[in-house]
Amino acid sequence: MEEFCKNGNHNLTVIHSYYNDPLSENVIRWCKNCGAIVVDVDYDGRTNPGYVMKMKFPKIMYALIKNKKKK
């Protein structure tokens, strides 16, 4: 895990989002560096932060993430 991830500064990328109603949507973000997942609720364009959840992957996933960082 990168040092900045340990301090809660994840490099988050949106991987999926879906609308709950016209003013709010759930947004699922993934950290490219450590593989953590966070689900936020965005209200009218403002983010209501969720909780970062550490995900466990098979060892091959860590190798793929490491290889992707090199590119």
pLDDT, residue 33, reads: 83
User: Domain-by-domain residue ranges, the chain?
Assistant: 3-70
Res 1 pLDDT > 60 = no
Q: Give the pTM.
A: 0.59
CA 55 vs CA 3, 17, 29, 41, 65: distances in Å: 17, 19, 12, 20, 13
Q: Give tens-digit pLDDT for 32-57.
A: 888 888 888 888 777 776 665 565 65
Q: What is the mean pLDDT of residues 52-67?
A: 65
Res 58 pLDDT > 70 = no
